[in-house]
Chain A
Amino acid sequence: MSKIAIISQPDQGVLLDVSGCQSLEEATQHLTSTLNVSSQFWDGLTVDLNLGTLNLAGHEVEQILSTASGMGVEFDKVFTEDEETVSWLSQRNIKASQGKPTFVNEETEEDKTIVDEGYETDVVGFAGPGSENANPEDAEGSPKAPATKSGAKAKKGKKSAAINNGPQVMFLRQTLRSGQTVSHKGHLVIVGDVNPGAEVVADGDITIWGALRGVAHAGVNGNVDAQIRALKLRPMQLRIAHAIARAPDRPHNPNIGYAGPETARIVNGQIRIAVNLPE
């Protein structure tokens, strides 16, 4: 799927996986764009790097490390399949490990298929030219299509439940601005706002102690029980599993008072929003 993955590891901080890249240029480029996109995110985190089967000379490894450190990230540990790289790293007192990080091993392949299938589903209301235009009801989450889709996804839901046995919650204390994205395999808690143009994605629930004005996608692997809650729920778009709801085209009426924290969940295949009540 992607050339770079950010994977949260059990009790070990975060692993940056560039093993999907074919070359040094590609790896550096993806690393730069990832580190660039949310710089504050890396503060105080333990970050590991997986180079996979990338065959790199010493100075090339050095280039990757200095790219990262230029953006404020020092890797705690580097995984690689390449013997030379291991010896180069250990000469420089950088923790190196030959082989795959155990955590990546069991997941990436499976994860790939789940994500790919997910994206192949037709999205109601967003068809090409020539087909019927979407009416607003459709886009709010048509009862027909998403219902069947979520049924088909039930099996996948179990798999993601298994993943959730690992690290469950990622906690972030920062405001996400346009262009920033955070995704997590598990539940995601953000103390701060999610601004328009920012995106939060999680396997599980998304909870925002602040205003949600961007895009949130909970239950990304098909978990229809996932929920999205925020102190102020004014999203551009909400997605839970395969259902999509978008903001009304009319601008929000500022005269309508603040209703309090709200929760979005799937009811009968559609996303429904309710003022927050204890479950």
Chain B
Amino acid sequence: MSGRVIVITSGKGGVGKTTASANIGVALAGTGASVVLVDMDIGLRNLDILMGLENRVVYNLVDVIEERCKLRQAFVKDKRLPNLCLLPAAQTRDKNAVNAEQMKKLCGELKGMFDFVVIDCPAGIESGFHNAVAGADEAIIITTPEMSAVRDADRVIGLLEARKDEIKEQRLVVNRLRPSMVKTNDMMSVDDVLEILSVKLLGVVPEDEEIIVSTNRGEPLAGSVNERAGLAYRNIARRLKGEEVPIMDLDALDQTWFKKIAKLFTPARA
């Protein structure tokens, strides 16, 4: 088996990178693929909390690298999906505990064991970033439609373009979009962001309060049927697997009965 190593990165912190990693991992595993989520945010580990696995972590990535345990021992199996597991970060070490060479070797091993290796990259563009992307074949860039996040995403895209030989594909996920604000011209639209960044779009995830609820539960949304952010992540997983899935019509999702009536009295968009 030779799986695909996908790094999830953003440059800016707080745009929902770790949430996206957890949800993309769950959604991919939901399609039947075997998936390992690798937390590269060494020293600030969070992915285990989002997955609700924080109390099951015994060994971590650094233990594997420093050969204190075997690779398989460090995997923490997901509570619901048998084909999904987590390789947690060390909380008590720093970003330099794993170097680029070691990461490449690790990714090579993981590729042989899973269909998808999903790497959650730390924020920033320092050594932690370079180590996290070292073994990747593809990248998913997460941004929100805010200027600061888009600027940082652009920087990351530039850095990844310099690694064209290794990272064959870069695609963008626009997170936390508020369709109602785009409509009133108070926020940049997905098209605006794409036009500025000139990069392929992988998916759009609407702002959804259920994300917070699911984080508190330790159960990523992509696993639940009804939530619209969950649907967005499942669509992303299908696109990653090569399916043609249209970007969902967020306007339609945003229309409550009240807004539908209000729309009757407002002129159509120019």
Residues of A within 8 A of B (CB): 1-2, 29, 33, 36-37, 115-116, 119-120, 122-123, 125-129, 133-134, 139, 178-181, 196-199, 236-237, 239, 244, 246-247, 249
Max count, chain A CB within 10 A of own CB: residue among B54, B63, B70: B54
- 5 closest A-B pairs by beta carbon, nearest first, are A128-B72, A181-B92, A246-B55, A247-B55, A119-B68
CB <8 Å contact, A126 and B91: no
Residues of B within 8 A of A (CB): 34, 36, 43-45, 52, 54-59, 63, 66, 68-77, 79, 82-83, 85, 91-94, 96-97, 113-114, 218
Q: List 27 A-B contacts (CB under 8 A).
A: A29-B96, A33-B94, A33-B96, A36-B94, A37-B92, A37-B94, A119-B59, A119-B68, A126-B58, A126-B74, A126-B75, A126-B76, A127-B72, A127-B73, A127-B75, A128-B72, A128-B73, A128-B75, A129-B83, A133-B82, A134-B77, A139-B56, A179-B92, A197-B45, A199-B91, A199-B92, A247-B55
Q: How far is the CA of A42 from the CA of B97 in the complex (A)?
A: 22
CB <8 Å contact, A236 and B72: no
A220 to chain B minimum Cβ distance, whole angstroms, is 12
A213 to chain B minimum Cβ distance, whole angstroms, is 11
Q: How far is the CA of A1 from the CA of B73 in the complex (A)?
A: 18
Q: Apart from A37-B92, A123-B73, what 10 extra A-B contacts exist at CB < 8 Å?
A: A1-B66, A116-B68, A119-B59, A119-B63, A126-B58, A126-B73, A134-B77, A236-B54, A237-B57, A247-B55
Residue of A nearest to B70 (CB): A120
From known contacts A37-B92, A129-B34, A129-B114, infer whether A123 and B75 are also in contact, taking CB-CB under 8 Å.
no
Q: How far is the CA of A119 from the CA of B64 in the complex (A)?
A: 11
CB <8 Å contact, B59 and A123: yes
List the B side residues contacting A139 at CB < 8 Å.
56
Max count, chain B CB within 10 A of own CB: residue among A120, A133, A179, A199: A179
List the A side residues contacting B74 at CB < 8 Å.
126
